[in-house]
Chain A
Amino acid sequence: MEFAELIKTPRVDGVILHRPFMPTVEGTLCLTGHHIILSSRQDNTEELWLLHANIDSIEKRFVGSLGTIIVKCKDLRVIQLDIPGMEECLNIASSVEALSTLDSVSLMYPFFYRPLFEVIEDGWQLFVPEEAFKDLESMTDEWRLSEVNKDFSVCPSYPSLLTVPKDIDDESLIKAASFRHGGRFPVLSYYHKKNGMVMMRAAQPLTGTNGRRCKEDEKLINATLCAGKRGYIIDTRTIAVAQQAKARGGGFEQEANYPQWRRIHKAIERSNILQESLIKLVEACNDQSHNMDRWLSKLEASNWQSHVKEILTTACLAAQCIDREGASVLVHGSEGTDSTLQVTSLAQIILDPACRTIRGFEALIEREWLQAGHPFQQRCAQSAYSNGKPRSEAPVFLLFLDCVWQILRQFPCSFQFSESFLIMLFEHTYASQFGTFLGNSVAERAKLQLSHKTVSLWSWVNRPQELERYLNPLYEANNLVIWPSVAPQSLLLWEGVFLRWNRSTKCLDEAYQEMVHIIEYNKELQNKVNSLRRQLAQLETEDSPLQTP
């Protein structure tokens, strides 16, 4: 298909662009296969360069022959384009609509994007399971890397290599897979070096209404327990929801069959509820006319903050079981691709200082989200402004980022990255020139040949000049477990995302700059003093023969 067919009017002059906090710009609007571009054709003026993929919805309005298009973006920004001429306006609108809702992945921009920078380190090769396993091997020999899912036939949403208990053979894995939703049998998610406890994740067991059991599944997870020790199964659903799942063939681990495990149910909501919550929250944030009562009641009604609290609480619970109780943990919900991953990844941020570095956080996202089969493409197809009926869209990953932000805010010196890194990730999951978040699983990504045909986000981000923008000046590496407060008063609305386009951040940015300045000045002084100290020491040694004959 040619994009040209969809572009009815490629160019309109005299278009006026309105953006939050910036002066309006008049210029020429151009449509390309992947972008809306507005250029004022003057030097040094800001231009609009918007990916069609970033467009969540568009609205048209007409006053006389002047048409206006309101473009609502997935990054929650709203811009307005005044277009002279009704026909031009209609053409632009319908073209943008068509181009922003293309179904075929291979038509997406990452397949056309050619980087203007030199790729020094290929992000696609950066986080391979073999490397992660080497780290694990240095700590324990209880685990092995299984190739049972080499051709993705045992579990289509898992990667080809999986870390499993050493004593469990591939035959058993296949049997256990048949007992878990989507074939997602229990695999290793995290090894806690401090006490050797582990966190595993899976999908729900397919016990159904007649209480099916699977010896291999039981053996598999029991293999992770030390002799005489009990473990915890954290089911991210309420007991009621888990019961209901039985009718559809799902279910939960029966005490009788898993006597060494204690099951705890939490209440993390399913994806469609989360999507609704996001829509309500953004609606509340965008209405500046709300009085205090209305704002607070809308904020409450959106339930967003409740979701943040519930997810963080569950993650803390998992971390607590591992670090404080010295017990191993298995986490699952229904499919094991959403709430499960929120919990396992956040628990690692709490427990493992490595996850709080930039590289470590990238590795975590690779391991616990991309390779673990979080369906990014489905979940991020639409954002808060989608009008249509949601299919499988849900801000599961955004909620995870929000939770990370909450911990970061409570422990501002413990993370190597700053808030802007999280916001950047949020943007790229919804629309990007990079292929990293395309597809829904490793299998799909392999089929799309993303690593050959597109550039990895990490290839770009990890270049020093780019990385600099995301570094937290307050970072001081520490080896501690960090326990966030999950009290409602400790959890704030993530203004950097949800109020980003509604209020200027000038003063807050200035404060940030001030902070950077203070710290840089300190480093500069330290360098100076250190070099003087060295000089002094040198002088003293040179002088010493004279002084001490």
Chain B
Amino acid sequence: MEHIRTPKVENVRMIDRRTPRKATVGTLYLSSTHTIFVENSEARKETWVLHSLVSNVERLPTNPSGSPVIIRCKNLIVYRLLIPQEKDSLDVVASLTRLSRPERYGELFCFSFNPNLDKELREKAWGFMDLKAEFNRMGIPSNLWHVTAANHEYRLCDTYPSELFVPKSASPAVIVGSAKFRSRGRLPVLSYFHRDTSASICRSSQPLSGFSARSSDDEQMLQAIMKSNPVSEFMYVVDTRPKLNAMANRAAGKGYENEDHYTNIKLQFIGIENIHVMRNSQQKLIDVGDMAAPSMADFLWGLENSGWLKHIKAVLDAGVFIAKAVAEDGVSVLVHCSDGWDRTAQACSVASVLLDPYYRTIKGLMVLIEKDWVSFGHKFSHRYAHLDGDPKEVSPVMDQFLECVWQLMQQFPCAFEFNERFLIQLHMLIYSCQYGNFIGNCQKERRDLKLQERTHSLWPHLWENRAEYTNPLYRTDHSQTQGVLRPLTTAYCFKFWKGMYGRAERSLSSQQSPADCLNAVREESQQLEEELTAHQEVPRETDAGQETCPAEGEENFRGEEEDQQVV
């Protein structure tokens, strides 16, 4: 509370850039967790903005009508306020700037967020996600793969989960030796097993090969992975970095596998750029979406200049390459980049979505994020700036994964159980720090923070609300929900994600969404089905004079505008 210089400002105008003349007047409140704008209108519409979701606050020079303040959120929504007194605007900006940059974990919203669950329910909620069950679901043959205790208490690799799947044929010495030869001890372990071909996707960090170093343990580890796929004669090592970057790493004693030292591997570079390139690219893209009344040429030039779609294509191409190797050639793949927690996570999870229909369901996507991102030490706190820290660590890695899924949804409209809203909601929740799932940088850190005791889990909450996130075109017996997806990655197949980056242009609300129409129709059908069953039972009961009360047909075909926006 000590950071709030002014808790309440009256006669603030909230400006919609599309209709600047029609600003809404209201009162601005600052709480310890939210900025709240309450309209003076009769509806008293409230807009809640979580402090941890604020990416920056900017004050423009005071003009005769007041002091403009722009609040930009990490989920790319922008609020434009006009505060009558300059002093108030200075206070609001100073308070928000501090409040939106917590210095300690304890300040994050998830530690004070209390959805009224008792202890038992909270524990049960954390148990909702069970990765052991997920590895079981994959049908991993126990004669070829097993869980090693090598990382018990994180002693082999502190950014990995404690339970790791490795080839059964790899001895403990090989496991330890391989970990020693990999950046930060992130040794090759199983990420996904493809039952149809017995090929697997493994992941690691780069080898510490430098110009000439080698490790027979690491070589044996790869051999063991290859051999775990009985029919295959070689395996791919996919280095997701541009070859030049990988070569540069050799000078630092890192690098990539020397094909002469490893038997039967094929090295493949994909060329996904590093986190710094991606951060800059996204900023340029956000600026494009933010332009006021751009011409078509401005827009297309900006889109090209941002390079964003090129990067999305690179990530998707990586996934396509891996999925093809695994599903069509039946060849196992080891994926790595430098540390193996950004590009590697992207490539593995995109490939998994392509390979396995389960990951295209609501539950499946949650499981995939938990597995490939949360458990394998994707640095959520750093990448999404949960705490005030090094801005060079921030990068939209997860954003790109979600966008790859969105691009796939454009090509395969019936293949996904969830809709665009689900992706946008996930994106917001990753940044917002409301739940404990995406706090910290690895499993060990989360354990040390006692997150399961002090915060709540997001997954059951999302699951309960799944009706909101359902794609009406999804059907489990549809051909698109079976087997492997083979997307086209020709340049023209990639689109600007308007739902994510085009939110400055909010006129969408007046437009119609076919998905919402269809959902309403489906809901109505369901009611009709119920009524039908009821009626069919009636003839037997007519004499009893029982009255059936049919639910009237759903009239509202538009997406309902929520009055209260809580973010």
Contact = CB atoms under 8 A, between A and B. Distances in A.
Interface in A488-522: 488-493, 499, 502-503, 507-508, 510-511, 514-515, 518-519, 521-522
A119 interface: no
Given A510-B479, A511-B473, A536-B535, A291 B310 contact: yes
Contact of B529 (A292, A491, A525, A547): A525
B84 interface: no
A289 B508 CA distance: 34
B525 A518 contact: yes
Contacts of B426: none
Interface string B450-481: 00000000000000000000001101001110
A67 B495 CA distance: 39
Interface in B549-567: 550, 553, 557
A316 to B, nearest CB: 12
A128 interface: no
B113 interface: no
Nearest to A515: B518
Nearest to B488: A503
B532 A529 contact: yes
Given A292-B491, A507-B412, A514-B475, A474 B296 contact: no
B296 A483 contact: no
A493 B289 contact: no
B531 interface: yes
A543 B542 contact: yes
Interface stretch (A11-19, A70-78, A231-239, A294-302): A294-302
B300 A518 contact: no
A23 to B, nearest CB: 18
In this complex, the member of B303, B310, B491 whose beta carbon has the largest number of chain A beta carbons within 10 angstroms is: B491
In this complex, the member of B411, B488, B511 whose beta carbon has the largest number of chain A beta carbons within 10 angstroms is: B511
Interface stretch (A257-265, A394-402, A408-416): A408-416
A285 interface: yes
Nearest to A484: B511
Contacts of A288: 490
A285 B492 contact: yes
In this complex, the member of A476, A493, A522 whose beta carbon has the largest number of chain B beta carbons within 10 angstroms is: A522
A295 B492 contact: yes
Contacts of B155: none
Contacts of B299: 488-489
Contacts, number: 163
B313 to A, nearest CB: 6
A532 interface: yes
B231 to A, nearest CB: 31
Nearest to B506: A485
Contacts of A518: 472-473, 518, 521-522, 525
Interface in B495-543: 495-496, 498, 501-502, 505, 507-508, 510-514, 517-518, 521-522, 524-525, 528-529, 531-532, 535-536, 538, 542-543
A215 interface: no
Contacts of B494: 292
Nearest to A308: B296
Interface in B268-319: 289, 293-301, 303-304, 307, 309-310, 313
A536 B414 CA distance: 39
B161 interface: no
B414 A510 contact: yes
Contacts of B507: 483, 485, 487, 490
A523 B475 CA distance: 19
A526 B521 CA distance: 11
Nearest to A528: B532
A528 B528 CA distance: 9
Interface residues of A, number: 57
Contact of A296 (B298, B304, B550): B304
B532 A490 contact: no
Given A489-B289, A518-B522, A533 B514 contact: no
A515 B493 contact: no
Interface in B304-362: 304, 307, 309-310, 313
A305 interface: yes
B545 interface: yes
Contacts of A493: 492
Contacts of B307: 292-293
Given A503-B490, A507-B412, A543-B542, A533 B550 contact: yes
Contacts of A499: 492
A513 to B, nearest CB: 9
A488 B545 contact: no
B557 A413 contact: yes
B542 A539 contact: yes
B102 interface: no
A296 B505 contact: no
Given A292-B309, A300-B304, A489 B528 contact: no
A91 interface: no
Contact of A533 (B414, B517, B535): B535
Given A290-B491, A412-B517, A514-B414, A488 B532 contact: no
A525 B525 contact: yes
A508 B538 CA distance: 42
B473 A514 contact: yes
Contacts of A490: 498, 502, 505, 507-508
A80 to B, nearest CB: 20
A476 B553 CA distance: 14
Contacts of B473: 511, 514-515, 518
Contact of A488 (B296, B313, B491, B510): B296
A522 to B, nearest CB: 5
A334 B374 CA distance: 63
Interface string B426-438: 0000000000000
Contacts of A511: 413-414, 473
Interface string A356-397: 000000000000000000000000000000000000000000
B512 A414 contact: yes
B528 A294 contact: no
Contact of A293 (B304, B490, B538): B304
Contacts of A280: none
A514 B513 CA distance: 16
A489 B304 contact: no
A292 B308 CA distance: 9
A306 interface: yes
A517 to B, nearest CB: 9
B151 to A, nearest CB: 40
A482 B505 CA distance: 17
A503 B493 contact: yes
B296 A305 contact: yes
Nearest to B487: A507
Interface string A295-320: 11101100101101100000000000
Contacts of B543: 543
B528 A522 contact: yes
Contact of B303 (A296, A303, A526, A540): A296
A483 B498 contact: no
B535 A413 contact: no
B310 A293 contact: yes
25 contacts: A292-B310, A292-B313, A293-B304, A295-B491, A296-B491, A299-B492, A412-B514, A413-B557, A414-B512, A485-B508, A487-B502, A488-B298, A488-B299, A489-B289, A489-B498, A503-B488, A503-B493, A507-B413, A510-B413, A514-B414, A514-B473, A518-B518, A522-B525, A522-B528, A532-B532
Given A411-B512, A483-B507, A487-B502, 10 more contacts: A290-B491, A297-B301, A306-B297, A412-B517, A489-B498, A490-B505, A503-B493, A514-B475, A529-B532, A536-B538
Interface of B: 289, 293-301, 303-304, 307, 309-310, 313, 411-415, 472-473, 475, 478-480, 488, 490-496, 498, 501-502, 505, 507-508, 510-514, 517-518, 521-522, 524-525, 528-529, 531-532, 535-536, 538, 542-543, 545, 548, 550, 553, 557
Query: Closest 7 interchain pairs by CB?
Result: A488-B299, A295-B491, A511-B413, A296-B304, A300-B300, A292-B310, A525-B528
